Structure 1
Amino acid sequence: MMYKSTRNNQYLVSASEAIIKGLSEDGGLFVPTSFPTFNLDWDELKDFTYQEMATFILRAFLDDFSAEEVRACVEAAYNDKFDTPEIAPLVEADGKYYLELFHGSTIAFKDQALSILPYLMSTANKIQANDREIVILTATSGDTGKAAMAGFADVPGTKIIVFYPKGGVSSIQEQQMVSQTGDNTFVVAVNGNFDHAQSKVKELFNDEALRAELAEQNVQFSSANSMNIGRLVPQVVYYFYAYAQMVKKQAIVAGDAIDFCVPTGNFGNILAAYYAKKSGLPIDKLICASNDNRVLYDFFHGGKYDINRDFELTISPSMDILISSNFERLVFHAINEDDRLLTTYMKDLADRKLYTIPEKFHPNFADFVAEFATQSETKEEIKAIYEAANYVIDPHTAVASKAYRKAQQEGASRQPVVIVSTASPYKFPEAVLTALDVDTTTMSDADLLAKLKELSGVPYPDAIEGLLEAEVRHHTVIDIEEMKELVKKISLS
């Protein structure tokens, strides 16, 4: 299987090349030239472990890796770093199934892919005989940064620089990042929002002079967020695994279609579900759940991607995004992989902050249903699920749960559904407790966590134990305009 750039569909690279590069030099994102076809024998697949499912799926997408290399990466990634042998358990609550993707070392769904990316990247380096030092450059809206650093900390031949919006993440998310250990990890708060940081990171990737300067010192950039195909493809795995669990629980008959509802920010998670469907997984609708930053909702209801709007800071900060990077991949597929047209749209987005897809392409987005939940609706959903099922969900999961209710009421979702639960409520204790009518005004983070433990009955995850006492190791705060010089300084030191 080869991968091509969304902005030059004649530029082909192997999986290992795409993983090392992260982004294409032309500014595009790598996408598969075709999708694999699997023999989906659910009598067998329903009993697969997560590791077996990951090996099964990844071998097809990463076919310049040997079977032994894929298996070694999987076994190194999915082990006792996760607090359950299921890795991604499927839990029934209030008549719906929740796919819990927060049992890894940083209690967010990013662990599923970022646990394996360092091993994929190291193996890709060997396949390509690449001896350059790799600088991982990533902007985060809260979860990617910590999960990426946890994966790459002290990995030889790498440095990782993470930028996050100051004041735009929860206090627990920030403490997780600024206390990160590892001599090769660098955490930087920026004065601006996630879109500003992410746009600057993409600009640095596309800076030819900077790339050349680094290359002279045997250094190159790569990415750890879902713009890197090595981050995106492992996310396909848990959609197949969730379906297998639905079959095993006899919630569906093998071959029946189901819906997935995904809380959506940068569009990588739901795009992985789309890739699963393109690879033969029986999915009917993909429900794209947005918070008050409803640019994706508006697009799916009118064909216009328009970021000329206020940026809202919400209690679901990982979804506080207007420029969803991975949406470029979906648009590329939907416009019949016309790279010139796609490049025009991306230029319009940069220059005019909007682009419009002609109606002739609208049917190509029919796999998706879009809904959103306001902050008040999100809080109401947390409370409703808790009262109905004694099950505590985080704000991002609550956005998806409420969005599904709306889609179901409107007749847009008619199949059994899996709600993708992307973070532990322990990451957002203040927001969750406030939704449960707890007065948090005088509570410290320690008080918040203790109260949440009391109400949920769920023990502290390992990621929380000792977190509040952990030493703050990263103190840097800069303006967006200072990012380039700081990146250059760290990369060449």
Structure 2
Amino acid sequence: MFHVAWNRHLKLMTRTTVSDVFFKLIFSRSFAVSCKSWVSMQSLVGDKNIVLMGPPGAGKTTVGKIVGQKLGCCFIDVDDDVLETTWNMSVAEKLKDVGNEQFLEEEGKALLSLSASGSVVSLSGSNPMNAASMEHVKKNGIVVYLDVATESIIDRLQLMKVDRIVGQVPGTSLRDILQFRKQFYKKWCDVRVLCENGILAEAVADKVLHAIKRYQDSELESFISTRSLHCGGKDEQKSPLKYFSDAVVEGLAPNGGLFVPEKGLPKFTAGEWQHLLGATYVERAQTVLERCIHPADFPASKLWEIVEMAYGQNFMCSRIAPVRHLAGNQFLLELFHGPTGSFKDLALQLMPHLFAHCIPQTCNYMILVATSGDTGSAVLDGFSQLKESDKQRIAVISFFPDDGVSQIQKLQMIGCQEANTKAIGVKSDFDFCQSAIKQIFANSDYTGFLTMEYGTVLSAANSINWARLLPQVVYHASAYLDLVEQNIIPFGSPVDVCIPTGNFGNILAAVYAKMMGIPIRKCICASNQNNCLTEFIKTGLYDLRGKRLVQSLSPAIDILKSSNLERYLHLIANGDGKLVTQLFSHLESQHCCQLQKDLLGKLQQDLMADWCSEEDCLHAIHSVFNTTGYILDTHTAVAKVVADRLQDKTCPVIISSTAHYSKFAPAILQALRIGEIKQTPLSQLHLLSSYNPLPPVHRGLLETLKKNEKQNYQTCAADVNVLMEHIEALIQNRFMKVF
């Protein structure tokens, strides 16, 4: 353990005061020789300082000395070399002399005198609480936050016989003040390094250097299209690199493919995942996303700010995506506590803020959405959360199959319309809406006209947009960590996940979580009677010939063409964009494609699939309610039926509960065999509520229906040209022409 290593040096400490909460290692010549060789400071960061920040006991001094040794540069300990030199007394004496508030002020003033370049600097634990001094430090430094679990810090400080730190007052525990300080570390850091339990100081130093290297080189994390020639022809090699911000803003790649990280997603160690045990959902989201989004696109402090904004007040459950035991070894991942009652909220409360940050200030943006029900209201609600200045240059239009969504879903969408958002019913199915949007993106004459005439660029908020898909990885990882916290499984034991899916985005996010180190064994795909995806997973043949979309009780998965499947095939084909292009071109022109045998074998190592009939769906809802008092929505019921068939019971299965049953009240009333079904959505929800079900009727949905039962909306024919007319009409009403 790291703190055990520190204990070996207790006798070497030259002071044991509150301010010196870390140990002074005496570096021998033999230690210096054993240090791993790294590049010079000059080549890594130029004349900038590497500034280590974190709570007392985090290891700033020890790690800082090792980093300095590896880079062959000067090490500055703020406690020793700045504060005590300035005050001519120990930090402990100063704190006792002036008290907490004045100490923080004078500590900040002393740090303003620091003038260094090309050095490694170890801050005191309380330095980040002074804004002026931190602004001074950041001007010529890259600030690295050594993030150590609070329990570990407390253990280390007890080992050092430290029971009080700067800023602590009577009645405030050590744990409280450590938690309070986290906001300052998050505010000022450029780079965060997770220091998992048991990690050695030299390993932390290497992590610091790797993190600095990543921070300095944004080209390490470029994006490519699933249809790009991975090795590239001459023309492709000359194409400008694409980054996270480009993938967010453009939505769809120029060649019709989907954006993916060229080098894949980062992998967390087991220790790093375990570091997140006991963390809130917000903290887990911040940690996962900052490793997947380069700080050149999103500074860490800004990313943390918007994650807290997205998941702060808009969810009915403080745990955001809790896991509930259903029966046996089946668990429900409740993804319906957001404002619109579906799993789409987990991404779409965050994605608009990512989008608004990434777009250039000189353009207007029109977001196009195709929805089979839940995405529409989630997108409209999410973009309504933007600040007013952003809403003045971002508009949203959502196309949904007019007869292919539930009445409640329709009322949600039309009720979410504002000056910059619009929902339009299309006299067709979801596949037409999705294909039409892809055609519009590919129409360079039309997109060029919008840019020239209105200064408006088109983008997408469906899961074809990387910023929609990426946040979904978080809740699959979080669900696994919750089972570990609840002592259901030890960390490292596998789980299966079963997900109702049509567009393959949610299940792909689970595959990504597995790639990042979450021990997911199998991802089980659950379909309704629109089961082309299930057949493909079983046989490798994607066959749309003669298939027509069938409306079902689970409309969000009434999809025949699964967009995100393209990303998965690109993954298992080792980035073979040529193969992906051939497969999807054949699917488009011949309405079928066949996966070669070796790739089907790789696919089936990750995936299993089956489908559920309408009768079995209703029976599952009825059966679960009778035995547990819990109401499944129709999509979750589909997954429950498939999980019952396919799980082998040797490990837990986490079933993604992707929507709240309130959105599908008529089907639920039918399944529960509750007398006469009332005619209005509002009365249906009141009837369900009278049964005191678990979970309760969705409060936000109930309030929405009270306001919006009689609102009107527009419909249009299934004609791409008509859709383009609606898009231009909203642009005309929202954005001024460019002259």
TM superposition score category, shorter chain reference: over 0.9
CA contact (8 A) 2:681 2:705 kept: no
Q: Deviations over 1:336-356 (max 9, x none)?
A: 221122112111111111111
Deviates more, 1:247-256 or 1:454-463: 454-463
2:701 is paired with a residue whose SS is coil
Aligned residue number for residue 454 of structure 1: 690
Separation in structure 2 between the aligned mates of residue 471 and residue 156 of structure 1, nearest angstrom:
28
Amino acid at match of 1:338: D
Q: Distance in 1 between matches of 2:640 and 2:596?
A: 31
Out of 43, 46, 63, the position equivalent to 2:277 is 46
* Deviation (angstroms), 1:405: 0.4
Output one character per residue of 1:328-383: Cα deviation in whole Å (capped at 9) or x when no partner. 11111222221122112111111111111111211220200101111111011111
2:519 and 2:447 map into 1 onto residues whose CA distance is 42
Distance 2:282 2:579 in 1: 40
Match in the other structure for 1:148? 379
Kindly state the Cα deviation for residue 100 of structure 1 after the two structures are TM-superposed: 0.4
Paired residue for 1:88? 321
TM-score (norm 1): 0.96
| Alpha-carbon offset, residue 39 of structure 1 | 3.1
Structure 2 SS opposite 1:423: coil
Larger relative contact order (Cα-Cα within 8 Å, sequence gap ≥ 6): 1
Partner of 1:35: 265
| Mean CA deviation greater in 370-379 or 151-160 | 151-160
Tell me the CA shift for residue 469 of structure 1: 3.7
- Determine which structure has the larger helix proportion and give its number: 2
Is the CA contact 1:187–1:476 (under 8 Å) kept in the aligned structure 2? yes
| Equivalent-residue separation in structure 1 for 2:276 and 2:376 (angstroms) | 33
The answer to whether the Cα contact below 8 Å between 2:552 and 2:614 also exists between their aligned partners in 1 is yes
Runs of 4+ in 1 over 6 A off after TM superposition: none
Task: Decide which moves more: 149-158 or 437-446.
Answer: 437-446
**1:451 to 1:472, Cα distance in 2 relative to 1, 3 A:** closer
**TM-score for both structures, normalised by structure 2:** 0.64
**Larger C-alpha radius of gyration, 1 or 2?**
2
Name whichever of 8-17 and 391-400 sits farther off.
Answer: 8-17
How far residue 130 of structure 1 moved from its aligned partner, in angstroms, is: 4.5
Seen in structure 2, the aligned counterparts of structure 1 residues 307 and 258 have a Cα distance that, compared at 3 Å, is same
Residue of structure 1 equivalent to 2:346:
112
Cα 1:339–1:192, aligned 2, differ >3 Å: closer, same or farther? same
Letter of the 1:5 partner, please give it.
Answer: S
Q: Does 1:370 align with 2:613?
A: no
Q: Which residue of 2 aligns with 1:248?
A: 485
DSSP-derived class of the 2:702 partner: coil
1:38-83 alpha-carbon deviations (Å, 9 max, x no partner): 1333543120101000000000111131111210110110111101
Q: Counterparts of 1:186-205 in structure 2 under 5 Å?
A: 186-205=422-441
Contact 1:94/1:385, CA 8 A, preserved across alignment:
no
| Aligned with 1:430 (options 661, 666, 671) | 666
Within 5 A, what are the aligned runs for 1:171-250?
Answer: 171-216=407-452, 217-250=454-487
Distance 1:24 1:264 in 2: 23
1:429 is paired with a residue whose SS is helix
1:472 to partner: Cα distance: 4.9
Structure 2 matches for 1:92-491, cutoff 5 A? Answer: 92-95=325-328, 96-125=330-359, 129-153=360-384, 155-216=391-452, 217-308=454-545, 309-365=547-603, 366-408=605-647, 411=648, 414-455=650-691, 456=693, 458-470=696-708, 472-481=710-719, 482-491=722-731
Offset, 1:492: 4.0
* Native 8 Å contact 2:321 2:333 kept in 1: yes
What code does the residue aligned with 1:351 have? S
Kindly indicate whether the alpha-carbon contact (under 8 Å) linking 2:417 and 2:423 is maintained by their aligned counterparts in 1.
no
Task: Name the amino acid aligned to 2:260.
Answer: V
Distance apart, 1:471 and its partner CA? 6.2
* Secondary structure of residue in 2 paired with 1:398: helix
1:113 to partner: Cα distance:
0.2
Inter-partner Cα distance in structure 1 for 2:676 and 2:606: 41
Compared with structure 1, are the counterparts of its residues 284 and 199 closer, same or farther at alpha carbon in structure 2 (3 Å cutoff)? same
Partner of 2:21: none
Structure 1: distance between partners of 2:292 and 2:712: 37
TM-superposition CA deviations, 1:270-316 (whole Å, max 9, x none): 00111111111111000000011010110011101111213111000
Of 148-157 and 114-123, more deviation after overlay is shown by 148-157
Q: Secondary structure at the match of 2:656?
A: strand
Residues paired across the two proteins, number: 487
Residue by residue, what CA displacement relative to the aligned partner does 1:80-99 show, whole Å, maximum 9, x if unpaired?
Answer: 11011101111112222101
Bigger shift: 147-156 or 315-324? 147-156
CA distance in 2, matches of 1:244, 1:2: 29
* Mapped partners of 1:294, 1:491: distance in 2: 37
Are the equivalent residues in 2 in contact too, given 1:214–1:492 (CA < 8 A)? no
Query: 1:28 corresponds to which letter in structure 2?
Result: G
State the distance in 2 between where 1:376 and 1:340 align.
42
CA contact (8 A) 1:440 1:448 kept: no
Cα distance in structure 1, aligned partners of 2:252 and 2:483: 35
Q: Distance in 2 between matches of 1:294 and 1:249?
A: 35
Judge conservation of contact 2:244–2:293 (CA < 8 Å) in 1. yes
CA–CA separation in structure 1 for the residues paired with 2:243 and 2:643: 37
Give the 3 Å change call, closer, same or farther, for CA 362–460 of structure 1 in structure 2. Answer: closer
**8 A Cα contact 1:379 1:435, kept in partner:** yes
Match in the other structure for 2:305: 72
Question: CA-to-partner distance for each residue in 1:433-466, whole Å, 9 max, x for gaps?
Answer: 1111123445432331112112215154222224
SS in 1 for 2:369: strand
In structure 1, what is the equivalent of residue 11 of structure 2? Answer: none
- In the aligned structure 2, how far is the partner of 1:145 from the partner of 1:400? 22
Q: What percent of counterpart residues are identical?
A: 36
Q: Matches of 2:503 and 2:675 in 1, distance apart?
A: 32
Equivalents in 2 of 1:43, 1:199: separation in Å?
Answer: 42
- Match of 1:26? 255
| Distance of 2:497 and 2:437 partners within structure 1 | 31
Aligned residues: CA RMSD: 1.5
Task: For structure 2, list consecutive stretches of 5 or more residues without a partner in the other structure.
Answer: 1-220, 233-238, 734-739
Offset at 1:470? 1.8
Whole-angstrom CA distance in 2 between matches of 1:27 and 1:397: 32
For the residues of structure 2 that align with 1:278 and 1:447, how far apart are their CA atoms?
45
Q: 1:345 and 1:434 mapped to 2: Cα distance?
A: 41
